[in-house]
Amino acid sequence: MKLDPNHPRPTLERPGWRDLSGLWDFALSEAEGPERVRFDRRIRVPFPPEAPGSGVQEPWVGVAWYRKVLRVKPRPGFRLFLRFGAVDYRAEVFLDGVRVLAHEGGHTPFSLELTPFLGRPLTLLVRAEDDPSDPEMPRGKQALGEPEGIFYPRTTGIWQPVWLEWVPESHIAALRLTPDLKALGFHLEAQVQGEGDGVEVALFPGAKGEVSFGDKPWLEAHFPLAGGLARGFLGLPLKGKGEEFLWRPENPVLFPLRLRLLRGRRVLDEVYSYGGLREVSAREGVFFLNGEPYFPKLALDQGLWPEGHLAAPGLSALRRDVELAKALGFNGVRKHQKLEDPRYLHLADRLGLLVFAEMPSFFRFSPTAARRYLAELQAALERDYNHPSVVAWVLFNESWGLAPWRRETQAFLQGVFLLARSLDPGRLLVDNDGWEHGPFWDLYTVHDYAPPEVLSRRYAQGAFPLAPMGRPLSWEGVPEGVRPFLSEFGGLRLKGPTPGWGYREVEGEEAFLAEVLRYVQVACESRLGGFGYTQLYDTFQEENGLLDFRRRPKVPPERVRALLEGCEVRRILLE
């Protein structure tokens, strides 16, 4: 068997889940309870009501109501859970008119058990509240007012999959895999709810491009259960260093895993997952992958679509974005101001693409903003822990929500860095991408939208300009001996009939291609720790992509790929 690529939680999958995407009853109402709500429309979930794909297309939504009648029969020995991938921003769930759950956080998952309510048609209501003008809410690139500049139309309500999952009474609730290159294996921790003696783990041979379970496992192990946890180490039966089994973009080897919760010889639960054996680190601004210097060549990817805004039109659209980034020669993306759908991360795992994940920003610091941000950060670190493609977390962008700097915002930035390090010590952290770095960071990132010839003068020798975008790069001075990571540059627009914008403009397709190649050439030849070109595709009014918003190339992908693949970066890094 193979993992289901459509499964909304690809790192802990059970067969037999039921997708609830499709038409739901819908209403726009400020009502706090369902009694006075009149469901007079239909919406296609999981498209947000602001987006064309929803069938609603309302530009300004503060509160949205959803209704779905569920007809599910009980299954003896099983519990039924309703799961939400993401609802922006505050969700309240009602069953037969009674409020049973509230969740805050527009990018992170939550669930509700339905077992006690089965045996009759069940009316499910969801109230989604998303204040369009709240600057203390982690909102990323969603405009506080009318879309303009680098801020875009909003996303309210359900925008990731909703599904039903049957789970045994005793079951594996969570899985945490930590790769260990020195020991060539995985440290495993499985969290169990209910009874059981232990967890049996079967690891199948690694393969590129898919997660496929054969008839015979490569390795089997049994870990006893204590206090609801099964812990242990899975050492791969390899001879030598096993470099061919290490995950990297050029060799995305994944090891399928089957976990069974046992009581004696009886199987109480069975789930499927996978792991990638890879390690990342940084020294003096140089990125290391699996102990070797590696040059991240990223494209800025904002995870937006004309049909769905934050919501992908479907699995094929997610796959296409991964494939287009690779076709252009990039080995990674920076997912900008958005926690991406886990199905995208699964595709990045399988197809081989580095992901710099980024937390959505709030825009005014307060205790409320801090509480909201920290709750989503912890949930995001937990959700994405097992994806080998996620190699770094960008915690803040360009001081959004933190400036003007005060003692409390400086302390918050440092505290967030240390919290993220404690919860996910195996990934790199960017404290504040672009400028005004604090004392803690792994990669020293710079945003610089100067023309190519200026970038060449500034970064050819790996030096740091003092304030390339008019903002200082650090609170305390730029460190010596550290290579800059040019995480935003380019931003070139092909001048056309639409009123969009870019950081610079050129006229004519040939001039556009020549200038794009000049940018890439400068980045390749400069003494950098890595770079991120702005951007992969146009996003609404911001038309500075290598592709347009419909993902149609503006440049021949093979021309950009040939230049990126020809970068002599390994020689430069080892000098």
Helix (H, G, I), strand (E, B) or coil at 254: strand
The band of 240, judged by pLDDT with boundaries at 50, 70 and 90, is low
Cβ count near 256 (within 10 Å): 24
Under 8 Å CB-to-CB from 331, ≥6 apart: which residues? 249, 250, 296, 297, 298, 352, 353, 354
Cβ count near 54 (within 10 Å): 27
Under 8 Å CB-to-CB from 420, ≥6 apart: which residues? 377, 381, 393, 395, 429
Measured over the CA atoms of residue 467, residue 338, residue 322 and residue 348, the dihedral's sign is positive
Phi and psi at residue 564, in whole multiples of 5°?
-65, -40
Kindly state the average pLDDT of the residues 391-402. Answer: 98
Query: What pLDDT was estimated at residue 239?
Result: 72
Query: What pLDDT was estimated at residue 207?
Result: 86
Query: What pLDDT was estimated at residue 253?
Result: 96
Helix (H) or strand (E) holding 511: helix 509-525
Under 8 Å CB-to-CB from 558, ≥6 apart: which residues? none
Query: What pLDDT was estimated at residue 571?
Result: 46
**The CATH number of the domain covering residues in 171-180+182-275:** 2.60.40.10
Within 328-393, residue ranges assigned H as helices are 342-351, 367-383
Beta strands 253-263 and 207-208: pairing type? Answer: antiparallel
Structure-token pair, residue 238 = 């390899």
The band of 496, judged by pLDDT with boundaries at 50, 70 and 90, is confident
Q: Which amino acid is at 350?
A: R
Higher pLDDT, 228 or 1: 228
- Is the pLDDT at 573 greater than 60, yes or no? no
How does pLDDT run across 20-45, given as a tens digit for each residue? 999 999 999 999 999 999 999 999 99
The band of 131, judged by pLDDT with boundaries at 50, 70 and 90, is very high
The band of 466, judged by pLDDT with boundaries at 50, 70 and 90, is confident
Structure-token pair, residue 118 = 């089965």
Structure-token pair, residue 306 = 């004309």
Beta strands in 13-121, from DSSP E residues, in sequence order: 18-19, 22-28, 41-45, 63-70, 78-84, 87-88, 90-95, 98-104, 110-113
Query: What pLDDT was estimated at residue 570?
Result: 47
Phi and psi at residue 35, in whole multiples of 5°?
-60, -40
How does pLDDT run across 316-325, given as a tens digit for each residue? 999 999 999 9
How does pLDDT run across 47-57, given as a tens digit for each residue? 999 999 999 99
Kindly state the average pLDDT of the residues 215-230. Answer: 93
Using CA atoms, how far residue 16 sits from 80, 165, 314, 411, 439, in Å, is: 11, 7, 20, 47, 49
Helix (H, G, I), strand (E, B) or coil at 502: coil
Look up residue 78 and give its DSSP letter: E
Query: What pLDDT was estimated at residue 574?
Result: 45
User: 21-160 with 171-180+182-275: one CATH topology?
Assistant: no
Q: What average pLDDT is seen over the chain? A: 94
First and final C-alpha spacing in the chain: 47
Structure-token pair, residue 165 = 């999952």
Helix (H, G, I), strand (E, B) or coil at 201: strand
Beta strands 354-358 and 390-394: pairing type? Answer: parallel
Kindly state the average pLDDT of the residues 281-289. Answer: 96
Cβ count near 218 (within 10 Å): 15
Helix (H, G, I), strand (E, B) or coil at 324: helix
Phi and psi at residue 492, in whole multiples of 5°?
-85, 135
Percent of the residues in the chain that have a pLDDT greater than 70, as a whole number: 98
Kindly state the average pLDDT of the residues 542-555. Answer: 97
74-88, 93-107, 418-432, 467-481 — which is least confidently predicted? 467-481
Structure-token pair, residue 199 = 């967890």
Q: Omega into 46 within 30° of 0, i.e. cis? A: yes
How does pLDDT run across 432-459, given as a tens digit for each residue? 999 999 999 999 999 999 999 999 999 9
Q: Where are the domains of the chain?
A: 21-160, 171-180+182-275, 289-574
Question: Using CA atoms, how far apart are residues 391 and 534, in angstroms rounded to an integer?
Answer: 20
Can you give the pTM of this predicted structure? 0.96
Query: What pLDDT was estimated at residue 41?
Result: 96
Measured over the CA atoms of residue 479, residue 481, residue 485 and residue 489, the dihedral's sign is positive
Cβ count near 415 (within 10 Å): 13
Residue whose C-alpha is closest to residue 56's, from 248, 299, 309, 262: 309
Kindly state the average pLDDT of the residues 146-173. Answer: 96
Cβ count near 368 (within 10 Å): 13
How does pLDDT run across 330-363, given as a tens digit for each residue? 999 999 999 999 999 999 999 999 999 999 999 9
Using CA atoms, how far residue 166 sits from 16, 74, 101, 272, in Å, is: 7, 10, 19, 15
| Buried b or exposed e, range 83-104, using 16+ CB within 10 angstroms | bbbbbbbbbbbbbeeeebbebb
Query: What pLDDT was estimated at residue 206?
Result: 86
Kindly state the average pLDDT of the residues 302-306. Answer: 98
Domain 289-574 has CATH 3.20.20.80: yes
The CATH H-level (homologous superfamily) assignment of domain 21-160 is Galactose-binding domain-like (2.60.120.260)
Percent of the residues in the chain that have a pLDDT greater than 90, as a whole number: 89
Kindly state the average pLDDT of the residues 95-115. Answer: 96
Beta strands in 507-574, from DSSP E residues, in sequence order: 530-534
